[in-house]
Amino acid sequence: MERSNYHIKNLDTFRAIAALIVAIGHIELFRQNTFGESAFNWLPNGHIGVVLFFVISGFLITYLLLKENEQYGQISLKNFWLRRIFRIWPVYYLVLLISVFFFDSIPSFKTIAYALAIMPNFSHALGCGWATSPQIWSIGVENQFYILFPIVVVIVPKKQLHWLLMVIIVVFATFPHILGFLNVRIWHNVWFQNFNGSFFYDSKFDCLGIGCLAGYLYAGNHKWLNLLYHKWLFMVCLICLIVFWGSNLQIPYFTDELMAVLFAVVILNICTNPGLDINIENKVTKFIGKISYGIYMYHWIILMVAFKMLSISNNWYSIFILYMFVLGSTGLLAWVSFISYERFFLNIKKNFER
């Protein structure tokens, strides 16, 4: 399936926003760990940038799978999995190699085993994550989603898929809280409490599910879109998204799920609503969006190089140099990777497109 046939406008800009927010959030995390304070407390939460990535992935993959089924009468699971492998695995394993051979860090056997199996979200939750590139936990979540969700799409009748997605969203949103309650009341297991909180805090399959539901509605031109395309609902969701993310809103429960719903409504309207003539794309955001995977994967390594090689101090000049070096070097590395190393595997990936 040719991707150009199903290009969704403005989606690269959302990828660009997510990648930059995550990278900037980690710059500030490094500064906070070094100096005990952040220069930009008002910046959006980087973790929510990952939630945005999850919503985009769920939305796009569901849309493409359903369109493939609509056009060809079936979904080739083998071809889908091979396309995902050639897109994700090369950079993922390269980052593992770089972070082992170029930095003084020897992961434990357990850490290596989970990473090689592309299950770094499990090692992250167990407290033995990949220290020199800890952001790879989300690649584990997406990889597990890519393995299981297409099977669900193939097995479940299309007319029932949205109901199943809503069940999945509710289960994954509430299950960790139920387990936490039972642990506090009955089991009193400190290890389990830590694992439960960490694993479900990071492994946001419900946020992926929210993106999937949006993709399902768009692919089938579902009647619910009439409500979701209402201009006042869109404006309210957009304003709430900006205010909540910009103010780093934290509510006791379901913050990520709330943000995922807002992202889904905003993406549906800005990217697919025929009644809105909105264009948030330009050459810069398209470029950043196309290399966003590389930005996400390489930026932690660049950050480690920056804090090792540069003379970092807690003043505005040093902060400016740090940001220019990290964002510029990450962007350059991601671009070079995209047009050379990744391009080789992307060309192979085309063999499995219809």
Which of residues 303 and 201 earns the better pLDDT score? 303
- Give dist(CA 350, CA 72) in Å, integer: 17
Q: What is the mean pLDDT of the chain?
A: 92
What DSSP letter does each residue of 218-266 carry, written as one string? HHTT-TTHHHHT-HHHHHHHHHHHHHHHHTT---SS-HHHHHHHHHHHH
Which of residues 312 and 351 earns the better pLDDT score? 351
Mean pLDDT on 127-151: 95
- Give dist(CA 125, CA 199) in Å, integer: 5
CB atoms within 10 A of CB 225: 18
296 has a pLDDT exceeding 90? yes
- Give dist(CA 153, CA 336) in Å, integer: 36
Mean pLDDT on 297-301: 97
What pLDDT is attached to residue 39? 66
102 has a pLDDT exceeding 90? no
- Give dist(CA 35, CA 20) in Å, integer: 22
What pLDDT is attached to residue 264? 98
Nearest to 202 by CA among 210, 194, 213, 191: 194
- What are the residue ranges spanned by the domains of the chain? 3-352
Mean pLDDT on 124-141: 93
- Give 140-152 as a 3 state SS string: HHHHHHHHHHHHH
What pLDDT is attached to residue 341? 98
105 has a pLDDT exceeding 70? yes
Question: Would you say the pTM of this structure is higher than 0.85?
Answer: yes
Q: Which residues contact 143 (CB under 8 A, 6 or more apart)?
A: 84, 88, 118, 119
41 has a pLDDT exceeding 90? no
348 has a pLDDT exceeding 60? yes
1 has a pLDDT exceeding 60? no
What pLDDT is attached to residue 63? 97
Give pLDDT tens digits for 255-287: 999 999 999 999 999 999 999 989 999 999 999
pLDDT grade for 5, boundaries at 50, 70 and 90: low
What pLDDT is attached to residue 3? 44
What pLDDT is attached to residue 196? 85
Question: In the numeric block, which tokens belong to residue 219?
Answer: 């692919």
Give pLDDT tens digits for 46-94: 899 999 999 999 999 999 999 999 999 999 999 999 999 999 999 999 9
- Give 8-22 as a 3 state SS string: CCCHHHHHHHHHHHH
184 has a pLDDT exceeding 80? yes
Q: Which region among 88-92, 143-147, 182-186, 228-232 has the lowest average model confidence (pLDDT)?
A: 182-186
What pLDDT is attached to residue 4? 43
What pLDDT is attached to residue 179? 92
Tell me if 307 sits within 8 A of 30, measured CB to CB.
yes
CB atoms within 10 A of CB 94: 15
The SS3 call for residue 311 is coil
Q: Scanning the structure block, which residue is given the tokens 């509430």?
A: 174
43 has a pLDDT exceeding 80? no
